[in-house]
């Protein structure tokens, strides 16, 4: 079975909540990433030289926001077209940036767990395993698209 209407609705509903406080959720997202994979710090220029995660850094917010948004968009496309088509950033560029930064499969898993953890905290009582499953599936398909591109460029 493909991505269902219910799954799309769960993602959209929680994205509305997330959007209301991007600065806070971005910070939480990066905190969870670094707890799981401290070495990721050295990949991001804005984290590399500071002891703490910067509270109000536009680039940090931008990476968090784009991961949240592109995952949500992937859910919509999986429902509409049955596949992920990137609309925000050209796939070729995404592939080369992540390849250049040394991103590997395990990083994608860490980012997935951080994404789900951030959403879970953000939506509180609205959270359900089904909601997590819907975000997880959309993310997996998006990550697979980027990873395939990275392999092609490697
Ligand atoms: C940069 C998206 C996963 C690390 C970027 C950019 C986008 C993006 C759009 C900016 C490209 C530009 O402006 O030139 C995504 C999406 C992901 C994902 C949609 C997952 C679905 C990851 C993972 C890591 C990672 C797993 C590693 C932990 C980076 C780094 C940069 C970057 C280090 C460069 C940031 C900078 O130099 O400021 N990503 N990314 N990304 N991404 Fe990701």
Residue 113 pLDDT: 98
Question: For ligand 1, is residue 138 a contact (CB within 6 Å)?
Answer: no
Residue 133 pLDDT: 98
The domain total for the chain is 1
Given a cut of 70, the residues of the chain with pLDDT beneath it are: 1
The predicted complex's ipTM stands at 0.97
Distance CA 39, CA 37 (A): 6
Question: For ligand 1, is residue 97 a contact (CB within 6 Å)?
Answer: yes
Residue 106 pLDDT: 97
The CATH number for 42's domain is: 1.10.490.10
Residue 66 pLDDT: 95
Q: List the domain range (segments joined by +) for residue 29.
A: 5-153
What spacing in Å lies between the alpha carbon of 41 and ligand 1's midpoint? 13
The three state secondary structure string of the chain is: CCCCHHHHHHHHHHHHHHHCCHHHHHHHHHHHHHHHCHHHHHHCHHHHCCCCCCCCCHHHHHHHHHHHHHHHHHHHHHHHHCCCCCCCCCHHHHHHHHHHCCCCHHHHHHHHHHHHHHHHHHHHHHCCHHHHHHHHHHHHHHHHHHHHHHHHHC
What spacing in Å lies between the alpha carbon of 93 and ligand 1's midpoint? 10
Residue 1 pLDDT: 65
Distance CA 5, CA 110 (A): 27
Question: For ligand 1, is residue 111 a contact (CB within 6 Å)?
Answer: yes
* Cβ neighbours, 10 Å, residue 2: 10
Residue nearest to ligand 1 atom 14, measured at CA: 97
Distance CA 72, CA 70 (A): 5
């Amino acid at each position: 079975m493909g991505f269902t209407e219910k799954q799309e609705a769960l993602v959209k509903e929680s994205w509305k909540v997330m959007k209301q406080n991007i600065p806070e959720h971005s910070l939480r997202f990066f905190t969870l990433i670094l707890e799981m994979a401290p070495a990721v710090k050295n990949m991001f220029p804005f984290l590399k030289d500071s002891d703490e995660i910067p509270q109000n850094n536009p680039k940090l917010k931008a990476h968090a926001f784009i991961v949240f948004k592109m995952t949500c968009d992937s859910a919509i496309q999986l429902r509409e077209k049955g596949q992920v088509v990137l609309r925000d950033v050209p796939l070729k560029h995404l592939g080369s940036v992540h390849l250049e930064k040394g991103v590997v499969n395990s990083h994608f898993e860490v980012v997935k767990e951080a994404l789900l953890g951030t959403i879970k905290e953000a939506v509180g009582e609205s959270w359900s395993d089904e909601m997590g499953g819907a975000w997880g599936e959309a993310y997996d398909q998006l990550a697979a698209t980027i990873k395939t591109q990275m392999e092609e460029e490697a």
